[in-house]
């Protein structure tokens, strides 16, 4: 009888834990967790960072100051769409796009998420020689890292 009660209690505890864990994002999968870390790594290490899939949740706004985490000036952040993401109307400067670029170039740009989307992302030092010392975030179609990365390579 004690064994049956123990099994029932264990199943109940497991059900509660699984319900809780189902609502928690896997560390490193969500844009608010991953993207600022990528920017900070590129700033401190000077290397390019590429992820094939980062989840952007509906309603999230990642402003330039959130992306830099006060590591450097917000005005040095630029956001750009890969060509295929722009053609597919996934990314752009319109609120019709899933991922909307907010802010003006040279004043610190960010990302507003109008519709949940998973995107490939590259972060690098800006390849444009006129923007030396600035950093570029490139948003692309999920799993299409070659095109996303190539924007960083110039």
pLDDT digits over 18-73, tens only? Answer: 665 544 444 446 899 899 999 999 999 888 999 999 999 999 999 999 998 888 88
Instruction: Identify the pLDDT of residue 25.
Output: 42
pLDDT digits over 75-97, tens only? Answer: 999 999 999 999 989 999 898 99
Q: Is residue 48 in a domain?
A: yes
Q: Is residue 109 in a domain?
A: yes
Q: Is residue 140 in a domain?
A: yes
Give the full edge-to-edge strand order of the sheet including 91-92.
61-62, 110-113, 99-102, 91-92
Instruction: Identify the pLDDT of residue 26.
Output: 46
Q: Which has the closest alpha carbon to 109: 89, 91, 88?
A: 91
pTM for the complete prediction?
Answer: 0.79
Question: What is the DSSP code (8-state) at residue 102?
Answer: E
Residue keyed to tokens 């610190």: 108
Instruction: Identify the pLDDT of residue 117.
Output: 92
- Measured distance CA(142)–CA(31) in Å, rounded: 13
Task: Give the side-chain half-sphere CA count within 13 A for 54.
Answer: 26
Q: Are 120 and 53 in contact (CB under 8 A)?
A: yes
Instruction: Identify the pLDDT of residue 54.
Output: 93
Q: Is residue 79 in a domain?
A: yes
CATH number at residue 105: 2.60.40
Sorted by sequence, the CB contacts under 8 Å of residue 61 that are 6+ apart come out as 102, 110, 111, 112, 113
Q: Is residue 15 in a domain?
A: no
Domain limits for position 57: 31-153
Q: Is residue 1 in a domain?
A: no
Specify the number of domains making up the chain. 1
Q: What percent of the chain has pLDDT over 90?
A: 52
Q: Is residue 78 in a domain?
A: yes
Q: Is residue 11 in a domain?
A: no
């Amino acid at each position: 009888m004690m064994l049956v009660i123990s099994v029932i209690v264990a199943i109940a505890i497991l059900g509660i834990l699984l319900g809780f864990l189902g609502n928690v994002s896997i560390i490193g999968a969500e844009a608010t967790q991953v993207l600022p870390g990528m920017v900070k790594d590129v700033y401190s290490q000077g290397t390019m960072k590429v992820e094939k899939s980062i989840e952007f949740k509906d309603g999230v706004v990642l402003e330039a100051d959130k992306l830099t985490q006060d590591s450097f000036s917000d005005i040095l952040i630029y956001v750009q769409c890969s060509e295929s993401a722009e053609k597919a109307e996934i990314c752009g400067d319109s609120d019709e796009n899933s991922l909307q670029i907010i802010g003006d170039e040279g004043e610190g740009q960010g990302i507003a998420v109008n519709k949940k989307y998973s995107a490939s992302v590259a972060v690098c030092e800006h390849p444009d020689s006129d923007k030396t010392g600035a950093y570029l975030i490139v948003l692309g179609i999920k799993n299409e890292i070659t095109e996303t990365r190539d924007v960083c390579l110039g």
